[in-house]
Structure 1
Amino acid sequence: MEPVEINAGAWYLRSLRDDDRLSDVPALALLGVADAAGYVARAEAGWADESLFIWAVCIPTTGETVALIGVQQTGPESGELCGTARDGYAAALEAGAGPVSRFAAGALGLETAPLANALP
């Protein structure tokens, strides 16, 4: 599956990137991801094999990543919803939870539990 962008009100959700135009690697380091470049590659592979769906939660005007949210399939009809945010951006993470849960249910047929505070 190709990554899907989501408008979550005041926040914009997009797939992670690390290319010549945009790199999320510095933001991922701020979120506590040890191997940020590897994490981007893992996220891309997850979209490709439809097992893990990770979004960068961004400030729409700058594209700056302030949180991560994702769904990992845990069963035929279930998934784990988890995410983490930089200090001061918990509202961005919370704003993404509803739209991502609806995407998981509508597009993937996965029911998710409430948002867990952890790296997707």
Structure 2
Amino acid sequence: MEPIEVNAGAWYLRALRADDRVDDRPALADGGVTDPDYVATRTAQWAADEHYSWAVCQPNTGELLAEVVLTPAGSDAALTGWARTGHEDALDTALEVISRFAEGALGFTVSRG
């Protein structure tokens, strides 16, 4: 599946990026994710329908505040996420929005892990 952007009210959810316009790697490192291939891995996982991940961003700046990951397994899907320090509210909102999206638009039964 191609990455899907989602409006979550105060937050904007999009695929992770590391290109000449947006580079999420510094924010990922701030959250403890230091693998230099992390963004490329997440991009490949979208294409392979293994994991769908969203950068939870501040809409004015595009700064990554949290990440939400949906892992499909048949008709079920596990929903997980993490937030940079001080941005747990963005994560909580994104988890709710992606849970509804996964159940309503994608037909998954979602569990939080």
TM range (shorter): over 0.9
Residue in structure 2 matched with residue 45 of structure 1 by the alignment: 44
1:60 Cα deviation from its structure 2 partner = 0.5
Residue in structure 2 matched with residue 81 of structure 1 by the alignment: 79
1:108 Cα deviation from its structure 2 partner = 2.6
Counterpart residue type for residue 110 of structure 2: T
Residue in structure 2 matched with residue 55 of structure 1 by the alignment: 54
Residue in structure 2 matched with residue 65 of structure 1 by the alignment: 64
How many residues of Structure 1 are paired with residues of Structure 2 in the alignment?
113
1:51 Cα deviation from its structure 2 partner = 1.5
Task: Determine the C-alpha separation between the residues in 2 that align with 1:106 and 1:49.
Answer: 21
The RMSD of aligned alpha carbons is: 1.1
Sequence identity of aligned pairs in percent? 49
Q: Do residues 93 (structure 1) and 91 (structure 2) align?
A: yes
Q: Structure 1 length as normaliser, TM-score?
A: 0.89
Q: Structure 2 length as normaliser, TM-score?
A: 0.94
Q: Do residues 108 (structure 1) and 106 (structure 2) align?
A: yes
Gaps of 5+ in 1: none
1:31 Cα deviation from its structure 2 partner = 0.8
1:89 Cα deviation from its structure 2 partner = 0.4
Residue in structure 1 matched with residue 30 of structure 2 by the alignment: 30
Residue in structure 2 matched with residue 12 of structure 1 by the alignment: 12
Structure 1 stretches of 4+ moved >4 Å: none
Task: Determine the C-alpha separation between the residues in 1 that align with 2:52 and 2:105.
Answer: 12
